[in-house]
Amino acid sequence: MTQLNEHQSDVLVIGSGAAGLTIALNLAKQCKVILVSKSKLSEGSTYYAQGGIAAVFDDNDTVEAHIRDTKIAGGGLCEDKGVRHTIENSKEAILWLIKNGVSFDRDLDRDDEGTEYHLTREGGHSHRRILHTADATGKEIQLTLQQQALTHPNITVLERYNAVDLLTTQKFGEGSNRVLGAYVWNRDIEHVETIKAKSVVLATGGCSKVYQYTSNPDVSSGDGIAMAWRAGCRVANMEFNQFHPTCLYHPDARNFLLTEALRGEGAILRRPDGSRFMPDFDERAELAPRDIVAQAIDFEIKRLGVDCMYLDITHKPTEFVIKHFPTIYHRCLELGIDITEQPIPVVPAAHYTCGGVMIDLDGKTDVDGLYAVGEVSYTGLHGANRLASNSLLECIVYARSASEHIIANIESISLPETLPAWDESQVSNSDEEVVIAHNWHELRLFMWDYVGIVRTNKRLERALRRCQMLQQEIQEYYSNFRVSNNLLELRNLVQVAELIIRSAMDRKESRGLHFNTDYPTKEDHPKPTILTPDSF
């Protein structure tokens, strides 16, 4: 193995969004860090997060109220320790962001010259507690933190590197299961390299790309969940994938999200004939949690046989709309929609993975030295449905607690002496890329049709059969041809699809984001759905 093919560091962080950048910056005070990004550094869900980040900054609000709202939205499946850990540390986490240069909007209407932050409200929140930067909060957090990471002497950034698989002692026949590093594919030279590390952090985001329609960027392909599963980690609550109620319905902007804050500031959902429908489904109307709003829109679209519903904020002053939602206003205007004068066509789209790799309060997984932070993880915070703007918060809080645990233990861990190089001696270049394209389309289509907002036992059984057939084809393809970006993502997505389907089949009720018409009622004592490797 040549030196060019091998890297080493104290900690390898896979993923470059809010979670990955936060943990890298906290670790870099005492550790050497390699930060791997599959695409360019900013190309992840954080950059596109519009709404904001939730915490108690209002004197009339309380931590207990935030906890209560989170549990209500979570449909009785939130775990108290995960909820409390996140929310009790929320203000400190946001103050850390502010200290590191993140700029949130101020309330300029206050008499004290705007020394306080402007707080907005989103569905499921009983108070205004969302700090934001207009409607581009994630962009502000991403660009601020990544600039620091790029200039930090203890952080090495590797852009355009796909993580292929984790390397663990168990894979080499040893009794314990400790992570040793990872194989990564250098997209620019199309070559697999090795990274040795004392600890590895998965901050790879979610897996909503498993669905045909999603608000997520292309990189959200479940890589971390699939790699952790193959390495021996349990996963939980994979059946709960949040469908954001309001994704722009337009052929030239299929991934463009319309933030929850629009409804928080008074936007109304209407049928094509202009009539309002959310009060028919929930007394909270447009401010109901996302699962209720998404199901209502899906129901009305199917009942009426139409393509979309409409989100209307035209009753608000033009200046107000442009000031609070400049990104949405200008993007829609580019597409010929003036949101100050026209309702916006919307449909639900796969948005957020509420389950993931099981971790404790320090971010530790079932594999020694392996941590998971952010959307890739299951902390118990979200339960059966994520409360709006708790996701960025979870990233920062758990990244900080995980970094503390890693730093406290890093000196007792030794780097592995040698790791085997990637072997390509038995594979060749593929001359049938159409196989990948076909399987990719088939996977996302049957997941949308059979494992979407509304499910049935028969749909889930059909989905599992098709998934297993695809797995066999993809594994055969993976074994015989050199890797590519599409092949690596497809391999991970089909694994994650199986986990979602099996989790959905295990839950014999309807709750939160999981609605099965064969089990329409709720169980009295619900528990998380936990899957263990080698259990099927």
**Sequence ranges of the chain with CATH classification 3.90.700.10:** 244-350
Above pLDDT 90, what percent of the chain?
A: 80
Instruction: Give the closest residue to 375 by CA, choosing from 535, 516, 211, 240.
Output: 240
Chain segment 414-460, per-residue pLDDT in tens: 998 888 888 887 777 776 778 888 999 999 999 988 999 989 999 99
Chain segment 171-225, per-residue pLDDT in tens: 766 668 999 999 999 999 999 999 999 999 999 999 999 998 888 888 899 999 9
> 93: phi > 0 → left, psi -120 to 50 → alpha, else beta; which?
alpha
Chain segment 510-522, per-residue pLDDT in tens: 999 999 999 999 9
Q: Which helix (H) or strand (E) holds 26?
A: helix 18-27
Residue recorded with tokens 């993923």: 15
Place domain 3-239+354-412 in its CATH homologous superfamily. FAD/NAD(P)-binding domain (3.50.50.60)
Please give the full DSSP string across 122-166, using - where no structure is assigned.
-TT-SS--EE-STT-HHHHHHHHHHHHHHH-TTEEEEESEEEEEE
Count of CA atoms in the C-beta half-sphere (13 A) of 209: 24
pTM tops 0.85:
yes
How many CB atoms lie under 10 A from the CB of residue 302?
Answer: 11
Chain segment 312-348, per-residue pLDDT in tens: 999 999 999 999 999 999 999 999 999 999 999 999 9
The CATH number of 244-350 is: 3.90.700.10
Chain segment 259-308, per-residue pLDDT in tens: 888 999 999 999 999 999 999 999 999 999 888 898 899 889 889 999 99
Class of domain 433-524: mainly alpha
Q: Is the pLDDT of residue 251 over 90?
A: no
Residues with catalytic function: 290
Determine the pLDDT at residue 250: 92
**Sequence ranges of the chain with CATH classification 1.20.58.100:** 433-524
Please give the residue that has the higher pLDDT: either 4 or 492. Answer: 492
Q: Is the pLDDT of residue 404 over 90?
A: yes
**Sequence ranges of the chain with CATH classification 3.50.50.60:** 3-239+354-412
